[in-house]
Each structure stands twice: as C-alpha cells, then as structure tokens.
Amino acid sequence: MNEITVRHDPGAEIAASKEWATTMATSSLLPAAFKGNPANLFYAVELADALTIPRINAVTNIHVISGKPTMSADLMVALARNAGHKVRFHTAPDGKAVKAELIRADDPDFVFESVWTWDRAVAAKLTAKDTWKNFPQAMLRARAASEVIRQGASEVLVGVIYTPDELGAEVDKTGAPVQDRTRSAFAMAAEPAPEPAEEPFELGEIEYTEEVS
C-alpha cells in the first residue's frame, strides 16, 4: 500500500492569506479600518490563527487601539467557553453592579470573581462617557467579563488582554470603537498607548438576584 505524505508549506499558506486579504479588501461591507487595506486584513488573519477563531470574527471583533490589539468582551467570553471554562454573570436588582464568575475546566473547585459597580466606574472616571451613561449595565458587564477572564483564563486571550474601552477608546453599546469622522481605530496605531489605570477599590456586600447568561 502506498503512503501519501502531506507536506506543510508555510509559504503557500502565507500566499493564500495574502490573496484572501487582497480580495476581501475590496468589499464595501467591511469596517472602515479594513476597506481597501489588505495589510490590516492580513494582520487580522494572523490574529485569527493565533486565537483559533474564524477570520471574519477577527475582522469584526479585533480592534487596534494606539498600536495595541484589543478584542470585545463578548469575544473573550466566547474564547473562554470554547476552551471549556464556565463563565457566568449576576446582576444586582438595580442594575448598578455586575459580578462575573469563571470556573476553569481543569480546576472546578475554585471560582474566579470580578465585580464592577457604578461606584467603581465613577472612581475610575469612566462615567462621563456617553456609552457609560446610556448603557451602564452593558459596560459594567464588559468590564467584569474582561477582568475575570484575565484573572482565570488569560491563556485563551493570546496576549490580546484588553477591550477597546479599557484602552480609552470611545465605544458603542457592543464595546466596538466608535469611528471618528476622519480616523479609524487602526489609524490611531501610531499614538502612544495609554496604560489602563489600576484603581484601588473596596467592595462591600451586594445582593444579586438575577443571572445573565
């Protein structure tokens, strides 16, 4: 019986990715950062491969802010769950506090927790932004999600550890950067990247009655 040997050809894979990026860049349905820009799309392909996600997910959920790649909190949650970890959310009755819990698949007896309250957001000077004023619960949930996944499952993030909001970008309800009239998130890549502020925060007792899946 003859054996067929399949050789891995990195050069062919790179060429295929370049061809995909060049073709995709002509689409009118792309986010502004990728329209007519194969190089940005090729960068997204590389990140998609590292994160083991479909390319289109990288195009829609990966954003470069001041030279640093970021991802949405929802994508972080999806990556953690795809790795077998459990991620749960609990919301206070008044909507002003969200607790995220992460239970690792390989350590089910320990629960990682992150709690973001409106008071904590005020202390971090976040609440002046329109999105925080209009969608406080969604923003608190996103902060709790990204924080708990960094604590308990950072390996699934492959170094993309912050959301656009955490690096100071103006975002919409979904956590995606709001495009400026003249600049995109990728266009800001040359600016110095601000480091997320670590604010000291003491947490009191909060009663949670609602679980958000």
- Number of compact structural domains in the chain: 2
Per-residue pLDDT tens over the stretch 33-89: 788 989 888 888 888 888 889 988 888 888 888 878 899 999 999 999 999 999 999
Specify if 202 maps to a domain. Answer: no
Beta strands in 8-166 (DSSP E): 62-65, 68-71, 86-91, 97-104, 107-117
Q: Which residues form the domain of 45?
A: 10-71+163-192
> Block means of pLDDT (10 residues each) for the chain, length 213 residues?
57 85 89 84 87 87 84 95 97 96 97 98 95 96 98 95 94 81 40 49 53 47
The CA angle 96-75-158, to the nearest 5 degrees, is: 120
Specify if 153 maps to a domain. Answer: yes
Specify if 90 maps to a domain. Answer: yes
